[in-house]
Copies of this chain bind each other. A is one copy, B any other.
């Protein structure tokens, strides 16, 4: 990279590689009034809805292995952003992508865009803008979804007595990273699939609207993310670590005790962690079962602050793990 910039064209790049991305055409069903190709895209939000917006950046060599398959990189960069919409119970509508590339060949771009586009199609998300710049490889994805006012799932609605539950299975992100690091490269491997091709729980999030009192996606690790719900809701919790649903193949990959630790503190699972009154559990479980997704009770919210039930050698509780997580943030303070 030169330290002497030239004046860089700001609009040409996306057009150059637009053939890889098939942006959403204008149309009322996609909510796109004017598609890619002008200074802005024009969107037509559904009347009476709130917009849920979030952005996540994935940096090569930091958030995913530099050698990861291009298709998985495209899928994953979008999935981690969509997961934030899922955690709000929002309906995914639109996304914008900032792609920064050191270099790229046709094969890489074709794979990347296939992974990105396929997940757009699967989730009804219209790609409505983006830019491509030269630099160290990273992908920023802004997502926009819609919710009925007052119905969004937030982190602050948890109440003492609520059950704590989690969708799917945990530890797959951390376990998949270990599998990758020992050389596993088969994307059909269950842990690698969980790590490199996480599935944002959008349908589950929408299904939980009206049932869950609080929700978050498990991106920083169960304990850290539960900590966010506890802090925002002003409650404590008792957790039953034995109840944690472990990702397929996790114990075989890591062994029993490290597998339980991965489920508690590993990141990148992108399941939904939620609280809900006990009397709504059956309804919630039935709705998620219809989506093929288990819902597992792993604890209970309590008025008393702090987290109980978690005891591991050398670990003092969720606040400790949260602090440890922050150390990973990488020297920005």
- Which residues of A does B touch, CB under 8 Å? 1-13, 16-17, 33-34, 37-45, 47-48, 50-67, 80, 83-85, 87-88, 90, 94, 96-98, 100-101, 103-104, 106, 109, 128-136, 138, 140, 142, 144-145, 147, 149, 152, 154-156, 173-174, 177, 181, 215-217, 219-221, 224-225, 228, 232, 266-268, 322, 325-326, 328-333
Contact = CB atoms under 8 A, between A and B. Distances in A.
Contact of A96 (B3, B53, B328): B53
A181 B4 contact: yes
A35 to B, nearest CB: 11
A39 B155 contact: yes
Given A88-B38, A104-B332, A155-B38, A140 B8 contact: no
Contact of A10 (B17, B100, B219, B330): B219
A221 to B, nearest CB: 7
B17 A57 contact: no
Contacts of A62: 1-2, 5, 8, 133-135
A227 to B, nearest CB: 10
A57 B332 contact: no
A39 B87 contact: yes
Contact of A7 (B97, B138, B268): B268
A63 B7 CA distance: 7
13 contacts: A4-B61, A7-B221, A9-B329, A39-B155, A40-B85, A40-B145, A42-B50, A57-B140, A59-B133, A106-B333, A134-B329, A136-B138, A138-B138
B154 A9 contact: no
Q: Most B CB atoms within 10 A — which of A2, A101, A130, A329?
A: A329
A11 to B, nearest CB: 6
Nearest to A215: B39
Q: Most B CB atoms within 10 A — which of A6, A64, A94, A145?
A: A6
A326 B332 CA distance: 34
Given A13-B332, A219-B9, A41 B54 contact: yes
Contacts of A330: 8, 13, 133-134
Contacts of A228: 11
A232 B35 CA distance: 13
A196 to B, nearest CB: 11
A319 to B, nearest CB: 13
B333 A17 contact: yes
Contacts of A142: 55, 96, 142
A34 B232 CA distance: 13
Given A37-B232, A54-B41, A135-B138, A328 B63 contact: no
Contacts of A16: 326, 329, 332-333
A152 B174 CA distance: 47
Contacts of A60: 135
A44 B48 CA distance: 9
